[in-house]
C-alpha cells in the first residue's frame, strides 16, 4: 500500500506543478515531467562525482543541444522519485548539469539506458555486486536542500537574513534574530577584530544590531536587505581562562590578558554604497568607560606577571615605601577598525559560492597596570608607577587590517576566513556535522611578530555550533 501511495504522491505533485492546457499535448507532457523548485528538497537527490560518468552525462547534454556555457560537469545532480522501504531502486525524474536539466521523457530519449541504470543503481559500474549505487556520489539530505531556500545570497551563514527567526549558539558567539524587524541580539566572546579570539582577550560584548536604512534596489535587496546597520552595546570582563585546571575547558591554554574594570562602550556602523550595495564601509569602536586610577579589584580574577626591577612607585607617590607592587596586569583598552569591504557572489543566479574582502586600518592598545595590597583592598592602578609599558601601533604592520572570507552553500555548506590585524594571524573554519543545524567551528591565532608578554604563541579553540532557523 505504501508503494502505491508514494507513486500517487509523485504523480499529484508533478501534475499540479504547472497549469495544463488541455488542447496542447506538449504542455501536458511538460507539466508531468517538471518538478516545482519549492518541493525539490523533499525528493531523493544526489550529486555525481565519478569523473567518467560526469563526462558521459555532460556529453549527452552537449549532443542534446544545450549551450555549453550553461553546462557544468562538476555540478551534476540526480533527482529521483520517493520509494518505499521494500523498493531497492529509485526512478530517476530529472538529471541536471549546471543550469540545464533533462526531465524523465528527455532522459529516456537522449540518455543511454545502460547509463540510466548505472545512475539509478540497477546496474553495476565498478564490476562488483553493489548494494545500490556503486559509483562516486554525494547524497543531498532533505535537511540541506540546494534550492532557493539554501543557496540564497546571504552575507553570514551563521546570521542569515533570509529567515524570519534564527538562533545560533556556540562558545564563540550567541545570536538571536528578532522576527522580520532586522534586529539582532548578539553576544560575542573575545575580540576577533584584533586577533584575540575566545577568552584570550579577557572580554566579551553584548550588542544590539539594528537596521537604519532599507535597500530599495530590487536587484540587490534580497541579499542585502539594508544599506545601513548600526551596532550598539557594552563590553564586559570575563574571568574564565585563569588557571582553569578544574573546569571542562582545562585543555585550552590559559590567557595572560585582561579587560579592565568598568566595562566598555561598543559602537559600529556598516554602510553599503547605494550605487553599489555589495561594497561599503565598516566602522567599529570599543572604548573603556573607566580609567585605571586606583580601582579596587579581586586579585584572583586578574592575570598578572611578576613585576620587573624597574617597576616601582614614583618617588613623590605617598605609597612609596609603604606598599609593595607584587604584580603587573596587562589590560586591553581601546580598540577599533575602519575598513572598506566587498561582498561577491560568484554566480548571481546560483549563489553557492561567496567571497568577502575587507581592507583598512585597525587600532589596539594594551596598557600595563600595577597591582598591590592596600590596607583594606587590592588596588590596580597605572598612576604614580614607573616602568609600566603601553603597547599600541607604532609601525605600518600594526595598523594594517586585512580579511578574506569564503563560504560554500552547496551540498556540504562550509566556510573559512583568514585575517591579518594587529600583526596577528587569525584563521577560522566551520563545517556541518548533522544536517543544517549542528556545526563545528574552529579558530586559530598566532602573532606574526615577536610574542608580547600577554600573548599566546599558538591559540587554538574548537566549538560545536547549533544553528536553528524558522
pLDDT at 36: 60
* CA atoms of 8 and 102, how far apart (whole Å): 22
pLDDT at 8: 41
* CA atoms of 11 and 17, how far apart (whole Å): 10
The residue-averaged pLDDT of 161-189 equals 92
Q: What is the DSSP string of 194-229?
A: GTEEGGGGSEEEEEEEEEEEE---TTTTTT--EEEE
**Do both 451 and 316 map to the same domain?**
yes
The residue-averaged pLDDT of 35-57 equals 79
Strand 76-80, strand 166-169: pairing: unpaired
Residue 118: inside a domain, yes or no? yes
Residue 216: inside a domain, yes or no? yes
* CA atoms of 441 and 192, how far apart (whole Å): 14
Task: Answer with the one of 120, 139, 158 that is the final residue of a domain.
Answer: 139
Q: 32 falls in which pLDDT band (50, 70, 90)?
A: very low
pLDDT at 391: 97
Residue 156: inside a domain, yes or no? no
Q: 57-67, pLDDT tens digit by residue?
A: 999 898 888 88
Counting Cα atoms < 13 Å in the Cβ hemisphere of 410 gives: 15
Residue 152 has pLDDT above 80, yes or no: no
**Do both 178 and 133 map to the same domain?**
no
Residue 147: inside a domain, yes or no? no
Residue 157: inside a domain, yes or no? no
Q: 38 falls in which pLDDT band (50, 70, 90)?
A: low
Residue 237: inside a domain, yes or no? yes
**Do both 257 and 404 map to the same domain?**
yes
Q: 267-295, pLDDT tens digit by residue?
A: 999 999 999 999 999 999 999 999 888 88
The residue-averaged pLDDT of 69-90 equals 80
Q: Which DSSP state fits 193?
A: G
Which residue range is the domain that position 76 belongs to?
A: 2-139
pLDDT at 237: 96
* CA atoms of 256 and 331, how far apart (whole Å): 9
Q: 364-407, pLDDT tens digit by residue?
A: 999 999 999 988 889 999 999 999 999 999 999 999 999 999 99
The residue-averaged pLDDT of 148-171 equals 81
Q: 246 falls in which pLDDT band (50, 70, 90)?
A: low
**Do both 442 and 396 map to the same domain?**
yes
**Do both 377 and 242 map to the same domain?**
yes
pLDDT at 13: 42
Q: 221-243, pLDDT tens digit by residue?
A: 888 999 999 999 999 999 999 88
Query: Would the pTM of this model clear 0.75, i.e. be above it?
Result: no
Q: 321-332, pLDDT tens digit by residue?
A: 889 999 999 999
Residue 10 has pLDDT above 50, yes or no: no
Residue 144: inside a domain, yes or no? no
The residue-averaged pLDDT of 159-181 equals 90
**Do both 130 and 198 map to the same domain?**
no
Q: 344-358, pLDDT tens digit by residue?
A: 999 887 888 999 999
Mean pLDDT of the chain: 86
Contact 407, 415 (CB under 8 A): yes
**Do both 345 and 394 map to the same domain?**
yes
**Do both 50 and 132 map to the same domain?**
yes
Strand 203-214, strand 226-237: pairing: antiparallel
**The C-alpha cell of 341 is what?**
569591504
Task: Answer with the one of 103, 122, 139 that is the final residue of a domain.
Answer: 139
pLDDT at 85: 60
Residue 255: inside a domain, yes or no? yes
For helices 113-120 and 51-64, the axis angle rounded to 10 degrees is 140
**Do both 117 and 170 map to the same domain?**
no
What three-state secondary structure class fits 10?
helix
pLDDT at 181: 86
What three-state secondary structure class fits 416?
strand
**Do both 221 and 113 map to the same domain?**
no
How many residues are there in the chain?
470
* Structural domains in the chain (count): 2
pLDDT at 464: 96
**Do both 241 and 320 map to the same domain?**
yes
Q: Which DSSP state fits 320?
A: B
Task: Answer with the one of 139, 157, 179 that is the final residue of a domain.
Answer: 139
What three-state secondary structure class fits 4?
helix
The 10 Å Cβ neighbour count of residue 184 is: 21
pLDDT at 249: 84
**Do both 179 and 268 map to the same domain?**
yes
Amino acid at each position: 500500500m505504501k508503494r502505491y501511495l508514494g507513486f500517487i504522491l509523485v504523480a499529484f505533485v508533478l501534475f499540479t506543478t504547472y497549469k495544463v492546457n488541455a488542447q496542447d499535448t506538449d504542455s501536458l507532457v511538460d507539466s508531468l515531467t517538471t518538478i516545482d523548485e519549492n518541493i525539490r528538497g523533499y525528493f531523493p537527490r544526489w550529486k555525481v562525482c565519478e569523473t567518467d560518468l560526469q563526462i558521459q552525462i555532460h556529453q549527452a547534454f552537449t549532443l542534446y543541444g544545450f549551450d555549453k556555457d550553461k553546462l557544468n560537469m562538476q555540478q551534476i545532480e540526480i533527482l529521483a522519485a520517493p520509494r518505499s522501504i521494500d523498493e531497492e531502486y529509485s526512478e530517476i525524474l530529472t538529471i541536471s548539469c549546471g543550469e540545464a536539466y533533462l526531465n524523465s521523457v528527455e532522459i529516456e530519449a537522449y540518455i543511454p539506458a545502460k547509463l540510466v541504470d548505472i545512475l539509478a543503481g540497477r546496474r553495476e559500474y565498478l564490476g562488483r555486486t553493489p548494494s545500490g549505487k556503486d559509483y562516486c556520489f554525494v547524497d543531498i539530505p532533505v535537511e540541506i536542500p540546494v534550492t532557493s531556500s539554501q543557496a540564497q545570497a546571504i552575507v553570514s551563514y551563521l546570521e542569515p537574513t533570509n529567515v524570519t527567526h534564527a538562533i545560533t549558539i556556540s562558545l564563540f558567539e550567541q545570536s538571536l534574530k528578532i522576527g522580520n524587524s532586522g534586529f539582532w541580539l548578539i553576544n560575542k566572546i573575545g575580540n576577533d577584530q584584533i586577533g584575540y579570539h575566545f577568552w584570550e582577550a579577557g572580554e566579551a560584548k553584548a550588542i544590539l544590531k539594528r537596521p537604519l536604512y532599507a535597500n530599495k534596489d530590487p536587484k540587490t535587496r534580497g541579499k542585502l536587505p539594508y544599506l545601513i546597520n548600526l551596532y550598539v552595546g557594552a563590553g564586559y570582563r570575563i574571568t574564565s581562562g585563569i588557571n582553569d585546571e578544574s573546569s571542562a575547558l582545562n585543555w585550552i591554554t590559559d590567557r595572560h590578558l585582561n579587560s579592565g574594570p568598568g566595562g566598555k562602550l561598543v559602537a559600529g556602523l556598516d554602510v553599503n554604497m547605494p550605487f553599489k550595495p555589495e561594497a561599503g564601509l565598516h566602522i567599529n569602536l570599543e572604548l573603556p568607560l573607566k580609567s585605571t586610577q586606583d580601582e579596587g579589584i579581586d586579585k584572583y580574577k586578574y592575570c598578572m606577571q611578576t613585576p620587573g626591577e624597574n617597576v616601582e612607585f614614583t618617588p613623590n607617590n605617598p605609597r612609596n615605601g609603604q606598599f609593595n607592587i607584587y604584580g603587573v596586569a596587562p589590560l586591553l583598552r581601546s580598540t577599533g577598525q575602519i575598513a572598506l569591504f566587498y561582498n561577491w557572489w560568484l554566480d548571481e543566479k546560483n549563489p553557492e559560492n561567496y567571497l568577502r574582502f575587507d581592507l583598512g586600518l585597525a587600532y589596539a592598545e594594551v596598557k600595563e597596570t600595577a597591582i598591590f595590597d592596600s590596607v583594606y583592598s587590592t588596588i590596580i592602578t597605572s598612576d604614580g608607577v614607573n616602568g609600566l609599558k603601553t603597547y599600541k601601533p607604532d609601525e605600518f604592520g600594526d595598523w594594517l587590517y586585512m580579511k578574506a572570507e569564503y563560504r560554500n552553500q552547496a551540498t556540504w555548506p562550509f566556510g573559512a576566513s583568514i585575517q591579518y590585524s594587529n600583526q596577528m594571524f587569525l584563521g577560522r573554519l566551520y563545517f556541518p556535522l548533522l544536517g543544517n543545524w549542528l556545526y563545528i567551528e574552529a579558530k586559530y591565532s598566532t602573532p606574526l611578530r615577536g610574542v608580547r608578554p600577554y600573548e599566546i604563541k599558538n591559540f587554538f579553540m574548537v566549538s560545536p555550533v547549533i544553528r536553528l532557523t524558522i
